[in-house]
Amino acid sequence: MFFALKVCFLFLIQAFFLAHSAPNDCQPDEKYIRLDQCPHVYNTEMTGLMRREYGIDYFQYLGPQKICCPKPGNELPNTYICGRSPAGYRIARGQETSPNEFPWMAMLLYMNNTSMEIIPSCAGSLINNRYVLTAAHCLSNMPDALTLKSVRLGEHNIWETPFNRWECSDRSLRCAVPHIDVDVEKSFVHGRYKKGAQRLMQHDIALLRLKMPVRFSKGIRAICLLRDHPALTNARLEIAGWGKMENGWFSEVLRRGDVTEVHPNRCSEMFLHLQFNFKTQICARGRNDVDTCSGDSGGPLMATMKGYHTEFVYQVGITSFGHSTCGTIGYPAVYTKTKAFFNWIVRRMKA
């Protein structure tokens, strides 16, 4: 019920702020052109959210109106756009993030067909303006009563609405921007997930196509997805999510934690019955029992690339599974290796 009230309140906030935004306030990856020259927006159902996001006037003919046209959905953003932010399946013993610290984080929302409530379960990562990457088990292994409905982007604190906090009027403080909920148009689960004897959790990857292209902002941005990247040995990796904490409760605020890669033999020994595959999976664990847990499934395992003039975050894995008791000392978690499925991902992306 609270989710419904929050959505209603945010609808009014978004309607006000988006309706009064500058018409040519385009992001670096957008072009200010006529709507009918931007087919991937023009041919999309003109919902209220769609019109608000792109500043499309309800009372004017659509074609001649000018909008900030984003890249088509079959393109991944370059590293000058993606991975930037203002400076077992949970984050057990992790830390709260700052607002907008991980603007590519996605919360998957499901319809409970028994209670007719919308509930969050699983996470994902926005990889461009149209697609969200998540785990296959977030679609194929869910209870029968739950049906994936939409994806929430720009979320930080699920119990608190930005702008209803008096301290957010202080411009020196960082406050989260309003989130948006975008319906899922189509989902792709890897065809080899749960296929073959004992290979229950391999190929644990899925791709979600949103019903509309979203606009990047301070609170919503894509993570970088690379065809290849440096070895992760001794690299600082990050995880994030709203999953269960060490007290057994789901986190109200997005939390993060640091982990490092563990030698594949460790996961092979710990999860012998699941046949860990170092070619398609990553084994990682954190200090002080930092771990992923229930509710964090499908979220990204992240690394940072630092160059002379640039720094960006890229995705190296997808939270898949771990020990039945999250944060168990000595037990790592397993992540689907994204670069092993890069071609599988891009082949399914359409404009």
Catalytic residues: 137, 204, 297
Largest CA distance in the chain: 64
Q: Which amino acid is at 169?
A: S
Nearest alpha carbon to residue 151 among 179, 173, 176: 179
Six token digits for residue 18 = 């988006």
78 touches 50 (CB < 8 A): no
Q: Indicate left, alpha or beta for 288 from its phi (over 0: left) and psi (-120 to 50: alpha).
A: left
For the chain, the straight-line distance linking the first and the last C-alpha, in angstroms and rounded, comes to: 35
Nearest alpha carbon to residue 107 among 128, 130, 134, 85: 134
Apex CA 96: angle with CA 290 and CA 208, to 5°?
80
Which H helix or E strand runs over 333? Answer: strand 333-337
